[in-house]
Structure 1
Amino acid sequence: MTPAYLLKRLLMVAYTLLVVSLLVFGITQLLPADAAVTILGQSATPEALEALRTRLGLDQPAWWQYAQWLGGVVQGDFGTSMRNGLPVGGTLAEALGRSLVLAACSLALMLMVAIPLGVVAAVRRGRPSDLVVSALSYVGVSLPEFVTATLLLLLFADVWNLLPATGYVSLSEDFVGGVRHLILPTLTVSLIMVAHVSRMVRSELVDVLHTDYIRAARLKGLSRRRVLLRHALRNGLLPTITIVALDIGYLLGGIVVVEEIFAIPGIGRELISAVNARDLPVIQAGVMILAATYCLVNFLADLAYAYLDRRIQYA
């Protein structure tokens, strides 16, 4: 991987975020909301509303407002929330931290479960274990997050009373309590990804196990375990990296729904509250943060792809 390619990919990330910023700013400007009315309330006088619009720059052309907003975003200043008057950056940073904990737990669980399931299904192709994994994958893909969350809440919180239904506890304050509150949201977010990735691992590994170099490795006398782990699995996982990177988009979208269901004060719930309150700075900043996260994950996926397959030449 050459420095020129890295620079090209970084420029592509910057270009993508610029386009996203234009779309986000343009769409939020079309929302039926008046920032001055949102801040001062319906009972504010016309003079007070006009003075606030002038102070916020809302009486300026749209291109000027966008330039001011984008300049602040580049410097890490996302503006001030219309709901509470607090800096948006600080509020979303705390919420993003909670969402990242949930995302990291869900991603880790997905990798620990999906890859072994896919390997077992590929190695035992056509056997009962393969059929069971395939059936579970179809069920997982078919269930949306709100259905999965409802079923888990009914079973583990209401019927069996094993886990808390909603809420969030910081792991730094109470590790055991925090883990208990994270179990159901993590299962909800990761279930569809487990189904998707395990099917991909199975499909790719089945193809790899029938290639000539795998047959040659077996003819050399290498053990079945060594052939699987050192040769087949390394090449079979390459397409999975791309699928996992694409699933990050689902992960980010799924977190928005799951956080609202389980009352987790993460960035997804902040976005929903901001949309309900027409809090434009929070909406704009939240979408930009999610877009930047998705771009970063795809950039890292490219790096991982090149590391695992040295045959790939990037120019």
Structure 2
Amino acid sequence: MIALLLRRFLGLLFTLLIVSLLIFAVMDLLPGDPASIMLGTSTSSETLSALRHELGLDQPLILRYGRWLAGVMSGNLGQSYTYGVPVAGLIAERLSVTLPLALMAIMLSVAIALPLGVLAASRRGSIFAVIATLFSQISIALPAFWVALLLIILFSTMLGLMPAGGFPGWNEGFLPALQALVMPAVALAMPQAGVLTRVARSAVLETMHEDFARTAMAKGLSSSAVLWRHIVPNALIPILTMIGLQFTFLVAGAVLVENVFNLPGLGRLALQALSQRDIIVMQDVVLFFAALVIVMNFIVDLSYLAIDPRMRKAV
């Protein structure tokens, strides 16, 4: 077991190293010069060369990559060209919005999809199956940003119950900040809940035909006991896999919803850095997104060992 975990962890580190190299190389190929953007097109060549030297942009690619990687490993993510502040502080500030938003959205998605998918699988042909099918089809078909606009029209413009956008900050109080994230979380959760409902239904249906499920029924256990004590726990692996993928998508892909609600999240930071050619911010944010995906996959792999004794015996 320990040897397996060590191999997985070393593989995680190696993957992160390769991904960081690819990110740095791709960012270096993007057109435009950060120094020119910072100083403007009318600046003299001497001033431009001096700034490029100060930023280290005149050094060879491998040296710049090594310096950047050393800074990332030590926690020093560099200085933003546009904002003139440490990138680590920018990411932490924006993550304080994006991370709670993603957590709220994934919890809402699971709370809707898991019961609906399980009931649809265990009661085929019932009203639960019809509701699950309709909900899944409709929620997947509706883009998250369109759901966000509908929520603003209904709950902000017409009813005046929720703020239409903006984020007051956690220092203004927990409830006002939480209230500002409710509608964005709902908008993000609806399409994910539709996908997760289908995955949960398919996983439970497949597990219901396993030998251990029929054996449990033959022993005289009630249908409810067999479902929740035997079938659902054994159907969790594909469900957990999908939840892990959805969480990383919600953190990295919430930029459209963040723009609709004017939230200062991590996705908006990446978009702004791209438009302003702030390479160091772009590199660090993209590396954070990639690391999040890799680490989340590692955590999901570990969860397999926790919920499935057969996998623990296999290793």
TM-score above 0.5, yes or no: yes
Tell me, which stretches of 5 or more residues in structure 2 are unaligned?
Answer: none
Tell me, which stretches of 5 or more residues in structure 1 are unaligned?
Answer: none
Distance in 2, Cα, partners of 1:172 & 1:52: 37
Distance in 1, Cα, partners of 2:100 & 2:251: 12
Q: Which aligned segments of 4 or more residues in structure 1 are displaced greater than 6 angstroms? A: none
Partner residue, 1:282: 281
CA displacement 1:245-286 (0-9 Å, x = unmatched):
222342234312221221111111111111111111110010
- In structure 1, the residue corresponding to 2:309 is in which secondary structure? coil
Q: Which moved more, 1:147-156 or 1:94-103?
A: 147-156
CA displacement 1:228-259 (0-9 Å, x = unmatched):
11111101222111121222342234312221
Instruction: Check whether the contact 2:94–2:266 (CA below 8 A) recurs between aligned residues.
Output: yes
- In structure 2, the residue corresponding to 1:162 is in which secondary structure? coil
Does 2:173 correspond to 1:174? yes
Distance in 2, Cα, partners of 1:220 & 1:171: 54
Distance in 2, Cα, partners of 1:179 & 1:248: 19
Q: Which moved more, 1:250-259 or 1:200-209?
A: 250-259
Partner residue, 1:200: 199
Q: Offset of 1:198 from its aligned partner?
A: 1.1
Instruction: Check whether the contact 1:35–1:82 (CA below 8 A) recurs between aligned residues.
Output: yes
Partner residue, 1:27: 26
Counterparts of residues 162-311 of structure 1 (less than 5 Å)? 162-311=161-310
Q: Which moved more, 1:215-224 or 1:9-18?
A: 215-224
Distance in 2, Cα, partners of 1:255 & 1:8: 33
Distance in 1, Cα, partners of 2:45 & 2:36: 10
Distance in 2, Cα, partners of 1:59 & 1:200: 51
Does 2:160 correspond to 1:143? no
Q: Offset of 1:172 from its aligned partner?
A: 5.0
Distance in 2, Cα, partners of 1:164 & 1:262: 9
Q: Offset of 1:209 from its aligned partner?
A: 2.2
AA matched with 1:151:
L
Instruction: Check whether the contact 2:252–2:289 (CA below 8 A) recurs between aligned residues.
Output: no
Distance in 2, Cα, partners of 1:171 & 1:55: 36
- In structure 2, the residue corresponding to 1:311 is in which secondary structure? helix
Partner residue, 1:89: 88
Distance in 2, Cα, partners of 1:288 & 1:75: 15
Q: Offset of 1:166 from its aligned partner?
A: 0.8
Distance in 2, Cα, partners of 1:103 & 1:27: 28
- In structure 1, the residue corresponding to 2:311 is in which secondary structure? coil
Instruction: Check whether the contact 1:38–1:82 (CA below 8 A) recurs between aligned residues.
Output: no
Instruction: Check whether the contact 1:38–1:278 (CA below 8 A) recurs between aligned residues.
Output: yes
CA pair 140-303 structure 1, distance change in 2 beyond 3 A: same
Instruction: Check whether the contact 1:156–1:163 (CA below 8 A) recurs between aligned residues.
Output: yes
Q: Offset of 1:160 from its aligned partner?
A: 2.5
Distance in 1, Cα, partners of 2:131 & 2:35: 58
Instruction: Check whether the contact 1:40–1:49 (CA below 8 A) recurs between aligned residues.
Output: yes
Counterparts of residues 4-43 of structure 1 (less than 5 Å)? 4-43=3-42
CA displacement 1:181-232 (0-9 Å, x = unmatched):
1111101111111111111111111222233322222232222222111111
AA matched with 1:258:
V
- In structure 2, the residue corresponding to 1:44 is in which secondary structure? coil
CA displacement 1:124-183 (0-9 Å, x = unmatched):
111222011111101111222222222222222223322111111334532221222111
Distance in 2, Cα, partners of 1:176 & 1:253: 25
Instruction: Check whether the contact 2:233–2:307 (CA below 8 A) recurs between aligned residues.
Output: yes
Distance in 1, Cα, partners of 2:177 & 2:54: 43
Distance in 2, Cα, partners of 1:229 & 1:128: 20
Counterparts of residues 44-193 of structure 1 (less than 5 Å)? 44-193=43-192
